[in-house]
Amino acid sequence: MATACSGKKNIQGHPCFGGNHHKNGRMHLAVAPKCNIKCGYCSRRHDCANESRPGVTSQLLTPREAIAKVREVMASEILGPIIKVIGIAGPGDPLANEETFETFRLVREEFPHLITCMSTNGLLLPEKIDLLQELDLHSLTVTVNALDPEVGAMIYRHILYHGKKFTGAEGAAILGANQLEGIRRAAEYGMTIKVNTVYIPGVNESQIPLIGRKVKELGASVMNVMPLIPQADFAHVVPPAPELLEAVRRANERIIGQFKHCRQCRADALGLIGQDVARADAGCAVGQ
């Protein structure tokens, strides 16, 4: 097992961790189609080129295709100078896909100066964290929506873990325990950690400050309270109004730093936050 690091890894310039998001951009590589949990708010059935939401991509990439796209972007006179971060955020869960690790290996070998970043549901984080450290992952985002398994049971239909399907509070408890253990160990390795929480009115608002306190205690440095995008099981739920979302973030800011310029990026996002590069295949298509 690898040994823990003592200091924080350098992520200067990362637009999601204090870097100037008006000047510094990111490139998400959609190499991870499989997912091991079913969130009630997640839908990956459609992909419109002009929509921005997690879980969608216009094209799945192999690791070799992904590194070829990184070469192309980094050679661009327009995009090359602004791209500081290479991230993997789906469209499934990166840790459930071996392609994630191969892609990070290729990026690290060819572009060692770029910051590497990953978003995960955290189910496999405790058992994959040593490998991520070996690959020199710089920053990590973990989506934590509940600490109470009974609340989690309202959010997740099921998890698939070590060949078994778990539902209800049992599944939510396994997921929650692994998320927290993974965050703790990632912090020991010096990774900079952001926690995303999807704010679902009437379901998990009471959990938000509890999550903030717990993840800060474990070593997370920032939290991103995201508004629900009504779809799937929660298509009928009205998302929090902007003023309510801002009030929740302000209250939570007393506990942990808040990330407030999130645009709930796609799995193939490219460019500046909120100013993604237009895709050649614009229009709507069936997603993965």
pLDDT at 162: 96
Residues near 12 by Cβ (< 8 Å), separated by ≥ 6? 19
At residue 52, the pLDDT reads: 46
Residue pair 134/124 in contact by the 8 Å Cβ criterion? no
Compute the distance between CA of residue 264 and CA of residue 246 in angstroms, rounded to an integer: 16
HSE value, Cβ hemisphere, 13 Å, CA-based, for 32: 29
Query: How many residues make up the chain in this entry?
Result: 288
The pairing of strands 25-28 and 83-88 is parallel
Query: Residue 137 and residue 4: Cα distance in Å, rounded?
Result: 13
- Fill in the amino acid letter for 236: H
**In three state form, how does the secondary structure of the chain look?**
CCCCCCCCCCCCCCCCCCCCCCCCEEEECCCECCCCEEECCCCCCEEECCCCCCCCCCCCCCHHHHHHHHHHHHHCCCCCCCEEEEEECCECCHHHCHHHHHHHHHHHHHCCCCEEEEEECCCCHHHHHHHHHHCCCCEEEEECCCCCHHHHHHHEEEEEECCEEEEHHHHHHHHHHHHHHHHHHHHHCCCEEEEEEEECCCCCCCHHHHHHHHHHHHCCCEEEEEECCCCHHHCCCCCCCHHHHHHHHHHHHCCCEECCCCCCCCCCCEEECCEECCCCCCCEEECC
Is residue 165 exposed (0-12), middle (13-18) or buried (19+ Cβ within 10 Å)? exposed
Taking each helix axis as running N to C, give the angle between helix 168-188 and helix 125-134, from 0 to 180 degrees, rounded to the nearest 10.
30
Give the per-residue pLDDT at 44.
60
User: Is the CB of residue 15 less than 8 Å from the CB of residue 84?
Assistant: yes
Q: Residue 90 and residue 94: Cα distance in Å, rounded?
A: 6
pTM for this model (two decimals): 0.84
CATH of domain 25-276: 3.20.20.70
For the chain, the domains span 25-276
**What is the reported pLDDT for 43?**
74
Low-confidence ranges of the chain (pLDDT < 50): 1-6, 19-21, 46-53, 278-288
- Which one, of 118, 100, 127, 119, lies nearest residue 185 by Cα? 127
**pLDDT attached to residue 26:** 77
Question: Dihedrals φ, ψ of 218, to 5°?
Answer: -85, -10
